[in-house]
Amino acid sequence: MPANGVTLKISLSPRDHQYIKHLLPHQLKVWYSQVNEVLIVFDLHGYDTGMYTAIIRDLEGFINELSLTYPAINLVTVDYSAPARKAVSDAYFGSNPVPLKTHRYGPYYSYFYGIYKARYDYILNTDCDMFFGGHSPAWVQQSITLMQSDQDVIACSPHPGPPRKDGKLMDQDGQTDNTPLRKVVFDSFSTRIFFIDRRAFIMHLCPLPVRIAGFTTVLRALLRGNPVYMLPEDVITDIMREKGLKRVDFMGAENGLWSLHPPFRNPQFFRDLPLLVFNIENNTIPEQQRGYYDINDSMINWEDARNQIREASMKLKILKFLRLKA
């Protein structure tokens, strides 16, 4: 266990049940030796109907079983009570009440609740659908050293995707370098995965403002019955750019450490998930995937998922047209 004190924070909800039994053990295998606490933040907001009861019990039982092998696991359910929401708001938003959801109806409050509940100030946050390769056992300590040596680095993340030999990024726009850490510098934040020092986060970024999304986005959110708030990563990104702060994604020493994100969910993804985890853990990566952060068609055929998105988009446009004509 590291001497500095590090919390690994993993966010999940009942909708993640189809892949959590493969990906949570994978994530623990990668990170457990580098952290002191594994804070699993279980968000049940909107899942209080009877149809989710069995899924919730199954996930809780699975995590309790994992804790026999990984005793640093601490499972907490997001507390949406008024006192808890006030405490989180006071800690990170000042007098601004923290929104519960974003304009996409994605998590907002639950991210900050997890940061608030973490036992240690060094916090490694990951969504529960992330994959990791390289498996460097020194990545967390190298992140701490990097942030301590450069006060402008507000967050670190693993390298975005398995690296190409030439270091080129195919779907990211960060500034790369050829230093031993193989760094990529961004002026933006991502809530999908980040490593922060909570003390520096509060000092440089808080109190965070609560901002409304752009006009078109607000109209779309209202059409769908969603809240109208900007994504928290966009709010943080704005402040980073105002203050000249940066996020550094890097490989690190030896085999390094990199991340992969599944952009869609389709039957093949769930069917091939065990093989996907195996190949990533063993660095069996197609050349066509290298340099890409999102898992592409060289590993999973996403065509049916893309078709579904196109069809849904067309239906939404037709619905908007009919409402305007009414």
| Closest residue by Cα to residue 134 from 292, 250, 278, 283 | 283
At residue 315, the pLDDT reads 61
Q: What is the pLDDT of residues 28-42, one digit of tens each?
A: 999 999 999 999 999
- Examine residue 117 and state whether it is found in any structural domain, yes or no: yes
Q: What is the pLDDT of residues 95-142, one digit of tens each?
A: 899 999 999 999 999 999 999 999 999 999 999 999 999 999 999 999
- Examine residue 24 and state whether it is found in any structural domain, yes or no: yes
Q: What is the pLDDT of residues 140-198, one digit of tens each?
A: 999 999 999 999 999 999 999 999 988 889 888 888 887 888 999 999 999 999 999 99
Does a cis peptide bond (omega within 30 degrees of 0) precede residue 207? yes
pLDDT of 323 > 90? The answer is no
Share of the chain above pLDDT 90, in %: 82
pLDDT-derived band of residue 261, with 50, 70 and 90 as boundaries? Answer: very high
Q: What is the pLDDT of residues 244-253, one digit of tens each?
A: 999 999 999 8
At residue 320, the pLDDT reads 62
| CATH of residue 187 | 3.90.550.10
- Examine residue 1 and state whether it is found in any structural domain, yes or no: no
Written as one string, the DSSP assignment of 46-96 is T--SGGGHHHHHHHHHHHHHHHHH-TTEEEEE---SHHHHHHHHHHHTTTS
Q: Compute the average pLDDT of residues 283-301.
A: 95
- Examine residue 124 and state whether it is found in any structural domain, yes or no: yes
More confident residue, 306 or 74: 74
In the chain, the number of structural domains is 1
The helix/strand/coil state of 2 is coil
Query: What's the domain range around 240?
Result: 6-325
**Contact partners, residue 145, CB within 8 Å, separation at least 6:** none
39, 197, 256 from 118: Cα distances, Å: 7, 11, 26
Q: Name the burial class of residue 83, with classes exposed (0-12), middle (13-18) and buried (19+) by CB atoms within 10 angstroms of its CB.
A: exposed
Q: Which amino acid is at 186?
A: F
**Contact partners, residue 253, CB within 8 Å, separation at least 6:** 136, 138, 142, 180, 181
> Are 193 and 125 within 8 A, CB to CB?
yes
- Examine residue 196 and state whether it is found in any structural domain, yes or no: yes
- Examine residue 16 and state whether it is found in any structural domain, yes or no: yes
| Closest residue by Cα to residue 211 from 115, 108, 88 | 108
Say how many CA atoms lie within 13 Å of 308 toward its Cβ: 8
Q: Which amino acid is at 139?
A: W
